[in-house]
Each structure stands twice: as C-alpha cells, then as structure tokens.
Amino acid sequence: METSLLHHQISLPLVNWFDTHQRKLPWREEYSPYSVWISEIMLQQTQVDRVIPYYLRWMQRFPTLESVSIASYEELLRLWEGMGYYSRVKFIHKTSKIILNQLGGQFPENLDELLKLPGIGPYTAGAIMSIAFNQNYPLVDGNVIRILARIFNIENSVERRETKNYIWKKAEELILPGKARWLNQALMELGALICTPKSPTCYECPVQKPCLSFHLGCTEQRPVVQPSKKAIPIKVVVGVLQKDGLFFIQQRPANGLMADLWEFPGGKINQGEKPEDALVREFQEELQFSIQVEKKITTLKHGYTNFSVTLHAYLCKLIPENQSPILHFASDYRWIKSEDFRAYAFPAANRRLINLLIKL
C-alpha cells in the first residue's frame, strides 16, 4: 500500500477515532516531557489501571523534575513499591540529576541526546519525541505489534528481527506529519480497548476496512508468537526475627533482582529440605546468626513475571540474644519498630506479610 493510501485508510481514521474515544488519563492532561517520561517509564510492564494511582501519588509528591532530583532515592523507592522493576527508580533519579545539573533543566529535543540518558531506551526516547514534542517518530510496543500484525496479516513470528524491522517500517510510514502525538497514542489506545489480545471487537474498529486478517478471519492467529514460558515455581522461607519489640530487616544488594529493597532474611528451600531447616541455614549463611524457629506465621503465594513463589514465614528469635550480624548478602540492616515498616520499600510478598503482622 502506498504511503498516502496508508494515511487515508489507517492513520486518519485512527487519529479521528482517538479524538472522540480516548480514555481520560492523568498523563494526557498536559504533554510535558517530564509527565510523558514518568508515565511511560511506569507503563513499562505495568497495566494502565495499576499505574494511575502510582502516577497520581508521584505527581502530587514530585510535580517537577527538580523535586525528583533533590528527593532521596529511598523516598522514590517507597513511592514505587509494588510496581516492580525497581532499577527504573534508580534511572529516574540519575536522569533527573543529569537533566537538572548538566542540561539546564530541559529535556533534549533530540533522539540521540535522549538515548544517552540512563534508563531511556529507543521506546521511551520515541515516546518523549513524539508524544511530548510531537515530532515525527514512530512508537512500537506490544499493542502496536499486535495491531500491525493483524492489519497487514503478518504470517512470520513477530519475535524475528526481520519482522520487527518490517513492523517498525510500517509504523514509520503510518506517521502523519505533525500528528505523531495522536497517532502513536491512537494505536496504543486501539490495542488497549478494541484490538485486544483475545476476542478483538472488530465491529467497533475504525480500521476494520483495511484490516487483512479481519477479512481473512484469522485475527486470533495474529500476531504469530512462540508460546509463552510457564512461570517457574519456587519455594522460599523467610524469618521474622524479633528482639525487644524490634524487627530485623535487611537491604538487598544495589544490583540484581529487586535491588535496594528491604526484606526479611531467608531464601530458597532446597529439594527435600524442611522450611524450618532452610531458615536456620539461610540465617547462618547470610548473616552468621544462630536462630531458633518459634512458630509458623503463614504461607503466601505470590506471582512474579517469571516465577510463582510459595513463601513460608516464621517467627524466630536469636539464640543467644546478643549476636551482631555479619552481612554476606545484604548491603545494610536495621532493627525497626512495627510503625516504621511504612518508611521502607519492600517486595510485594514481604509487604503482604507485614500487613498480616500488623494485624496480629
């Protein structure tokens, strides 16, 4: 299809549809580079409904780039708690400081310059360029891949590099000069509301006419993808160590999974190992603490992207009482009062356990 035909049959109907059907979302009230940046980083791997309260809380506390740059990393992390992918927070903090201290407080209106900033990859840079600055840049996320694979009836796996390049090229051809802000959002909105992964509502779709897979009756078979891997089941045990009314918590290392978050000590249960024995072993290996397991608190199940975790939690105490930890895994530790749990950021399963402890 020629570019002008693509614009006439796909881009224009999409932009018009977006104009009347777009959801009222808080980051659509103003298209400042700061609000686009924060919302796009939050929306990576996270559903819109889940992001909204986080975004509103964030903007209330940090209405400007400057307020982020002068805040403590701990505070940013606390506001982010529960959204996962915590390295995003570190990058936001670093980037805010660079923009403020080295770039005069202004986001660069240039793709290559944006790509030099920590945590800003091609997608986020494209989002800032097109949605904030309304420059003619395409945006390709999971929604756009699905829609274009259906419209153009792409029979090859969308995981292949050549297919990805083809989709990027199509997204580029679809850009209406001067309308990138609306076209890119229209594609994403169509993917969220109409052209959904399962059972797309084609009868309401503004681009049903040019959609090849609709006419061929194969919308459910597009896009072509490898079957997703099953979440790996993991059994873990954690210990709530109490002394003189205080709780022991430790901070995870600055790199790796759930970096910098606080947690109760513990770890994976080995094959054939009892949870209580695993706990005694983990306290010894991680902290050189000798403990006595007192009683079971609960068993929680928690799903992460690639893992399904069964977490056994126990109350425990130090035997003898006057031991100091030697940190082999954690970067820091604290003995805190129960009312201070709010002041630290914890992984989701630990936070569920804390909510339970507070009620006990």
Provide the phi-psi class of 244: left if phi over 0, else alpha when psi is between -120 and 50, else beta: left
CA nearest to 58, candidates 46, 286, 309: 46
**Residue 52 beta carbon to ligand SF4: minimum distance, rounded to whole angstroms:** 24
Active-site annotation holder among 2, 29, 40, 276:
40
CA nearest to 331, candidates 283, 267, 262: 262
Instruction: List Cα–Cα distances, 136 to 205, 269, 319, 339, in angstroms.
Output: 24, 52, 66, 51
| Of residues 107 and 152, the one with the C-beta less far from ligand SF4 | 152
User: Which residue in this structure is represented by tokens 């990058």?
Assistant: 91
Chain residues binding ligand SF4 by CB under 6 A are 147, 150-151, 194-195, 200, 202, 205, 207-208, 211, 213-214, 219
| Of residues 207 and 278, the one with the C-beta less far from ligand SF4 | 207
| Of residues 198 and 230, the one with the C-beta less far from ligand SF4 | 198
CA distance 129 to 110: 7
DSSP H/E element including 255: none
**Residue 222 beta carbon to ligand SF4: minimum distance, rounded to whole angstroms:** 7
Annotation says 40 is catalytic: yes
Which structure tokens are listed for 21? 């059907």
| Of residues 22 and 64, the one with the C-beta less far from ligand SF4 | 22
Residue 283: other Cβ atoms inside 10 A? 24
Burial of 305 (0-12, 13-18, 19+ CB in 10 A): exposed
- Which letter does DSSP use for residue 271 in this model? T
- Which letter does DSSP use for residue 131 in this model? I
Could you report how far apart the first and last alpha carbons of the chain are, in Å?
65
| Of residues 174 and 211, the one with the C-beta less far from ligand SF4 | 211
Which residues are the active-site residues? 40
